[in-house]
Structure 1
């Protein structure tokens, strides 16, 4: 039988991590379904009483999303339009009850290829802050995610925040998801698109695709291709080869590689059309 720890400060939590092998718990919306027995085995570190880990704070350099910030917290926070894609993804994370307790950071640490929050955060150039009793370190989200259910997280570390740079709040963004049904579904393909448009021309672009590969990916070739062209023309300039430069779609029970490729292209075009409508 393991021990249950619920510290009230980050220092206490890191001290526990330094001495015990624990399962870090917050909303538990991913943790409990993955538990094969009636209770989580081993030691548990519940971080929900640590006030400094809850909420979204704007700083001089950007925004800090604390580790126990829920999807509902995110939806209720006033954020610039660059974050709209992340808020749209938040509305797709299970039911309202799940959004009330599930955390944005937990979605990343679960490292599912179909994690809804990852493509928008990739397109927001998010960085992950990790802490241990020995100190803190930060790394880009793309480097934190190593593979299916695999992250660059040591046994004595925990993620304490997501950082989004100020510049990433610029522009207009869109998130689209394809599943076997309309609601409460694991995605087959999803796309997050953020562009800065001036006088009808795309000046900056950040695009990510999820559920098509073991880890969601930025489509840097697509981003480069659409720079400098009118937003109204951007959807029609793209083809499947542009996507294949960055990802090799997978086949599984939810869809074949060919289906995912075609769906990714269509979702990307639709997201750009949605943005074009919003900037007119």
Structure 2
């Protein structure tokens, strides 16, 4: 590590990034395990910037990029964010949840990032700050591949924005791993369901760890509209997911197992969301 900076304001942080690209440090739970004993390059520590931390209500919901998973899990949030809070309680152990941040989870861009499917189901948009000002990018566009995002080298992810239209209904998150805790997902699913007059009027479904990036599932979503909640889980089939997912064989599972598991997890998430 050549230089370490811990600015007090976002403007100061953006100015430092404009001078020379730096590795960004928020919680450090992804950064430290990947660098070994030595961090190469300059570091920008965001943890002293108050504007980047916390959850605020307005026209929708704004979650600062340095908000920890523990803060999200313990916040008073509407039922539509139940899936995000369930995911927050399963990101590593308690120590990781106390330090790890929602912004770091997104910028790390792991295909198995637990926070991504719930945020996709909430139509999340990310806010990026750089020398040219602020810009907003839908989460569906931010993640472009394993460990790859659209964030420019001189930009800082400042917040996750959830539109007011996505704060309706109830959601659920289900994760499958080789053991119950402290595990990288084999597959995971999030579902947000809106019900009126005994029928499903809105559905947002997402699956993670089964493609290079987590995916929304518009075909499966459309199949649920108009259905009775009790019938909804059985309307999701592996065939509905086939075109959207591209799982791989690896040490944790085969592609076939992941595809089959994703359909089952999605059925369970839908059942919990409509219960």
TM surpasses 0.5? yes
Distance 2:52 2:205 in 1: 28
Matches within 5 A, 1:201-280: 201-277=199-275
In the alignment, the residues of structure 2 paired with residue 52 and residue 180 of structure 1 have an alpha-carbon distance, to the nearest angstrom, of: 38
CA distance in 2, matches of 1:101, 1:119: 21
What secondary structure does 1:28 align onto?
coil
Deviations 1:192-212 (A, max 9, x none): 000001122110000000000
Backbone CA RMSD of aligned residues: 0.9
Mean CA deviation greater in 237-246 or 106-115: 237-246
Q: 1:53: which partner in 2?
A: 52
2:29 aligns to what? Answer: 29
Is the aligned partner of 1:15 residue 2:15?
yes
Q: Is the 8 A contact 1:3 1:42 kept in 2?
A: yes
In the alignment, is the contact (CA less than 8 A) between 2:191 and 2:270 conserved in 1? Answer: yes
Contact 2:212 2:246 in 1 (8 A): no
User: In the alignment, is the contact (CA less than 8 A) between 1:197 and 1:231 conserved in 2?
Assistant: yes
Say if 1:112 and 1:149, in contact at 8 Å, map to a contact too: yes
Deviations 1:227-246 (A, max 9, x none): 00101011122211101132
Q: TM-score scaled by structure 1?
A: 0.96
Local SS of the residue matching 1:34: helix
Match of 1:40 in 2: 39
Q: Deviations for 1:157-213, whole angstroms, at most 9, x for unmatched residues?
A: 110111000111100110000000000100000000000011221100000000000
C-alpha contact (below 8 Å) 1:221/1:245 kept by paired residues: no
Q: How far apart are residue 134 of structure 1 and its match?
A: 1.7
Pairs within 5 Å for 1:152-191: 152-191=150-189
Q: Give 3-state SS (helix, strand or coil) of 1:114's partner.
A: coil
The 5 Å alignment of 1:53-92 reads 53-59=52-58, 61-92=59-90
For residues 62 and 272 of structure 1, the distance between their equivalents in structure 2, rounded to whole angstroms, comes to 23
Q: Deviations over 1:98-125 (max 9, x none)?
A: 1111001100000000000000000000
Alpha carbons 2:193, 2:274 under 8 Å: kept:
no
Cα distance, 1:41 vs. partner? 1.4
Which moves more between the two structures, 243-252 or 204-213? 243-252
Displacement after TM superposition at 1:133 (Å): 2.0
Alignment correspondent of 1:194: 192
2:103 maps to which of 98, 102, 105: 105
- Alpha-carbon distance, 1:46 to partner: 0.3
- TM-score under structure 2 length normalisation: 0.98
| Runs of 4+ off more than 3 Å | none
Instruction: Indicate the SS of the match to 2:31.
Output: coil
Give the whole-Å Cα distance in 2 for the aligned partners of 1:132 and 1:266.
41
User: How much has 1:78 moved relative to structure 2?
Assistant: 1.1
* Structure 1 segments unaligned to the other structure (5+ residues): none
Equivalent position of 1:145 in the other structure: 143
Aligned residue in 1 for 2:5: 5
